[in-house]
Amino acid sequence: MPELPEVETICRTLAPMLVGSAFARAELVWPGCVANGSA
């Protein structure tokens, strides 16, 4: 499990590239990372 400072760094790096974007497709690599990964 990553520590909060690492997660914040990743979020701040990706945000300028992703905010306002629309996703056409997403792949869930680790279903256990979300509450309901059995989609």
Q: For residue 13, give its domain range.
A: 4-33
Residue 12 resides in a domain: yes
Taking the C-alpha atoms of 17, 21, 25 and 31 in order, what is their torsion angle to the nearest 10 degrees?
A: 60
How many helical (H) and strand (E) elements, i.e. helices and strands, does the chain have?
1, 0
Residue 13 resides in a domain: yes
29 has a pLDDT exceeding 90 = no
Q: How many domains does the chain have?
A: 1
Residue 11 resides in a domain: yes
pTM of this structure: 0.51
Residue 38 resides in a domain: no
8 DSSP 8-state letter: H
Give the tens place of pLDDT for each residue, 2-28.
788 999 999 999 999 999 999 999 888
Residue 14 resides in a domain: yes
Residue 39 resides in a domain: no
Residue 26 resides in a domain: yes
37 has a pLDDT exceeding 60 = no
User: What is the structure's pLDDT at 30?
Assistant: 83
User: What is the structure's pLDDT at 38?
Assistant: 58
How far is Cα 19 from Cα 4, in angstroms, rounded to an integer? 20
Residue 27 resides in a domain: yes
User: What is the structure's pLDDT at 36?
Assistant: 66
